[in-house]
Amino acid sequence: MPSSAARARAFDPRRAVLPDPETHALFLDVDGTLIDIAPHPDAVRVPPGLAGLLGDVSARFGGALALVSGRTVARLDALFAPLVLPAAGVHGAELRLDASGPVASSVQPFPERLRQGLGELARRFDGVFTEDKTSAIAVHYRAAPDAGALLGPEIAALVEAFGRGYVVLPGQMVFEVKPALHDKGTAVAAFLEQPAFAGRRPVFVGDDVTDEAGFAAARAHGGAAVSVGRRLPDVDIVLADAGAVRDWLAGLAAGTAR
């Protein structure tokens, strides 16, 4: 694993993003960004001290920090307990715009016919499984990487045949089928209307193509995009891995980020 110094060099000094606690807001993806990806979503490990670090950064930024994830808000709360933050779950279908507020949900039950079709497709491949997010279904193939080339077209065909406002969102070793109405960009826009975030420049940090709508929203509102692990389109800087993100956040909490 790269050292902290090596990870710090992942910043491009010509285009460095150094958020100002007085003028910026932070929007953070979770899996692959704050925590390392695991073979199964239930097997992820939250590093010791991460919840406390997020709380410290949030306080420094006046509460203008939100988690924006494909996971449900309830699952985010379980991962980072006892910390509770503003959060968007299921790619914006769930929104808790204030840490002390309720979760507003636009989640609709996933169509049973489409659910069954995705389940039958997953069962045809060893190591492929589905994750039910109530309004979305993720088809994971991390344990069967060669299956991706076959799964992609078949999932796309299933969704096209269903034809009722659902899209396929490809990610790292996963295809997620979700309602077309919401994405991480709509979540960012909703947060920016809230008192803690209003008037601030958003910085969105994510690791996957599922975060590209968040990147676009951040840049559209005068902010910046930070990708993790690889250079995704239209990002300002790249951090090497989730460890580099945690180092960067520690610098922000201490006021020493570079």
pLDDT at residue 17 in the model: 60
130 vs 41, higher pLDDT: 130
CATH 3.40.50.1000-classified regions of the chain: 4-106+182-254
Cβ-in-10-Å burial (0-12, 13-18, 19+) of 177 comes to: buried
Residues of the chain with pLDDT > 70, as a percent, come to 92
Query: For 124-152, how does the pLDDT look when each residue is reduced to its tens digit (9 = 90+)?
Result: 999 999 988 877 899 999 888 889 899 99
pLDDT at residue 257 in the model: 57
**pTM of the model as a whole:** 0.81
CATH 3.90.1070.10-classified regions of the chain: 112-179
Contact yes or no for 121/129 (Cβ under 8 A)? no
The answer to whether residue 169 scores a pLDDT higher than 60 is yes
pLDDT at residue 75 in the model: 93
Question: From CA 178, how far away is CA 169, in angstroms rounded?
Answer: 7
77 has catalytic annotation: no
**Right CATH number for 4-106+182-254 from 1.10.460.10, 3.40.50.720, 3.40.50.1000, 3.40.50.12780?**
3.40.50.1000
Contacts of residue 116, defined as CB under 8 A and 6 or more positions apart, other chains included, come to: none
* Strand 174-179 with 166-171, pairing: antiparallel
Query: For 171-228, how does the pLDDT look when each residue is reduced to its tens digit (9 = 90+)?
Result: 888 898 988 888 999 999 999 999 999 999 999 999 988 899 999 999 999 999 999 9
Percent composition of the chain: helix, strand, coil (DSSP 3-state, to 5)? 35, 20, 45
Helix (H, G, I), strand (E, B) or coil at 29: coil
Q: Given CA atoms 187, 52, 173, 42 in this order, what sign does their dihedral have?
A: negative
- The domain 112-179: what is its CATH number? 3.90.1070.10
pLDDT at residue 173 in the model: 87
SS (H, E, C) 58-87: HHHCCCCEEEECCCCHHHHHHHHCCCCCCE
The answer to whether residue 12 scores a pLDDT higher than 80 is no
Helix (H, G, I), strand (E, B) or coil at 31: strand
pLDDT at residue 13 in the model: 34
Annotated active-site residue in 29, 31, 211, 241: 29
pLDDT at residue 76 in the model: 96
Token pair recorded at residue 18: 């150094």
pLDDT at residue 2 in the model: 38
End-to-end CA distance of the chain: 20
